[in-house]
Amino acid sequence: MSEIKLERIDDNRWLLPQTGSMRVPGIIYANDKIHDLLQHDESTKQVANVAHLPGIVNFSLAMPDIHWGYGFPIGGVAAFDMDSGVVSPGGVGYDINCGCRLMATGLAFDDIRGEIKDLTAALYQRIPTGVGSTGYVKLSGKDQKKVLQEGAGWAVKAGFGSSEDLETTEDGGCMSGADPEQVSARALERGKQQLGTLGSGNHFLEIEVVQDIFDEKAADAFGLHRGQIVVMIHTGSRGLGYQICDDYLALMVKHQSETGIALPDRQLACTYLASQRGKNYLAAMACGANYAWANRQILMHLTREVFEKTLSIAPRELGMRLVYDVCHNIAKIESFKIDGVEKKLCVHRKGATRAYPAGHEAVPARYKSVGQPVLIPGNMGTGSYVLAGQEKAMSETFGSACHGAGRLMSRKQAVKSSRGRSISREMADQGVLVMAGSKGTLGEEMPEAYKNLNDVVGVVHDAGIARKVAKLKSMACIKG
């Protein structure tokens, strides 16, 4: 039971008052139902802990998918001054640039109604899944360093997709400042054979159908319409990103006393952004981010091939194209107005995603009039939402929204609760075909392990930081 008492700001926001050594207050985005759930969760304490870090600006924030994480809560957002602030690997997360990629097709539900089982089986056979899975893209040391520097652009040059895909990938699928020399030999080794793999846990590839449209103008700009078949991919930087985080956490813990920063939790190990160690971490993190973008680009290409072969249709007939690829688990240098003055800040988004509004320079040209697509998947039985960023996000959340429904149970609790049940059969009864590498994964990921997606998305929409555009219904899901 959390001892922290939150004060209501409005229907969708709660204030965590500034006390003790907190440098700023906290704000948590939640409706009454989510607020009540937080009373049984210590993640509010993590919001308060983050508020102790030097150089934090305005607030320590948490999105409505908030739950316990390493150091920072998952769903946490915090921005730091470039001169006096810090960077913390726990504020990015182990799976650097874990993110979502939404692909639209020219197919309607009726076009694949009788082919879903074959499609799902073919995808499961073609897309490597599970812990330690390896792909068929084997990298030499030279090629791997190019991946870390060029991201999705490397994959396109290698024949996995087209340059058009890069136009609707956040940052063009490449984060600047990447330096492979700041990545350990162990991390490089772990990443050598995992490019083009989905991984395990909450990572997935789903076939979905557009069920509802809430904003016709934005949906038209995104190229979405009712009854359309789409595919959502959720994965990240695999073992390489995990190792980068692990390496730098160990380094920062070892040298924490040198910084003179008093931490309420050692998991918040950090270093000043202006320090060489801080710059080295950002350069290594950018490598992890670029690896993740290349990974999702390759998975999209493999998915396209599976659809074409299984359905015996030509690329033009399939019409698979990238709607958007958005990352979470990242720290980015971005500009925001603070007290009327434009400032560069290092924005940590852990289990949170950009939600940039119409007209922003970082929004792809084709979406400038409506705002950036925001992709929020739920559990494997719920489907996903597509939203569009709003201007209010720039003044309240550093251009951020939530990244998913957010866990309600730990993985251990979920496995215990699912014993004796056939989650795959339960999913089939709901009209969702699921294929996974183990019963354990399905137990960890059972629908009850997550918050209600409609509640979470409703908070983001009602708070005015991202507006609902479309609801996607799950039809089939593959997991590691």
Catalytic residues: 403
Phi-psi region of 84 (alpha: psi -120 to 50; beta: other; left: phi over 0): alpha
CA distance 224 to 214: 11
DSSP string, 72-85: SPEEEEEEEETTT-
CA distance to 88, 318, 429, per residue, from 478 (Å): 33, 20, 17
Q: Would you say 244 and 189 are in contact if contact means Cβ atoms under 8 Å apart?
A: no
CA distance 272 to 80: 10
CA distance 109 to 210: 9
Shortest CA distance to 477 belongs to which of 339, 380, 340?
A: 380
CA distance to 108, 203, 255, 400, 461, per residue, from 303 (Å): 17, 15, 44, 29, 31
Q: Would you say 116 and 216 are in contact if contact means Cβ atoms under 8 Å apart?
A: no
SS3 344: strand
| 422 Cβ contact list (under 8 Å, min separation 6) | none
| 104 Cβ contact list (under 8 Å, min separation 6) | 222, 223, 224, 228, 230, 319, 320, 321, 323
Q: Would you say 18 and 47 are in contact if contact means Cβ atoms under 8 Å apart?
A: no
